[in-house]
């Protein structure tokens, strides 16, 4: 999966993977009758859902990544104003 470069430093990808594996462990009984391909598909879908949840959290309210400004740009604007 590719993640937007603006989000790379904000999303703990390792944590998302760990959460997904934990959910897979919790669902072992549910996944027991499935073959390896079906289990892998379940894990991929769970990973996609967990990643989407993390990205959605970043766009909520004060944490909206779209509202962030580059410190360098802010300093340049400040210097121009002076």
**pLDDT of 9:** 74
Token output for 10: 């904000």
| Residue 79's pLDDT band (cuts 50, 70, 90) | low
pLDDT at 66 over 90: no
What is the CB-side half-sphere exposure of residue 61 using CA atoms within 13 A?
A: 2
Instruction: For residue 56, give the DSSP letter.
Output: H
Token output for 39: 């289990």
Over residues 29-64, the pLDDT tens digits come to 999 999 999 999 999 999 999 998 988 887 776 655
Closest Cα to residue 63, out of 1, 16, 6? Answer: 6
pLDDT at 14 over 70: yes
Residue with the two structure tokens 């400040």: 78
């Amino acid at each position: 999966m590719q993640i937007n470069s603006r989000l790379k430093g904000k999303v703990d990808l390792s944590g998302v993977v760990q959460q997904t594996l934990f959910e897979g462990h919790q669902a072992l009984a549910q996944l027991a009758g499935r073959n390896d391909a079906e289990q892998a598909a379940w894990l991929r879908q769970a990973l996609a859902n967990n990643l989407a949840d993390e990205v959605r959290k970043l766009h909520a309210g004060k944490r909206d990544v779209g509202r962030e400004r580059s410190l360098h740009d802010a300093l340049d604007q400040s210097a121009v104003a002076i």
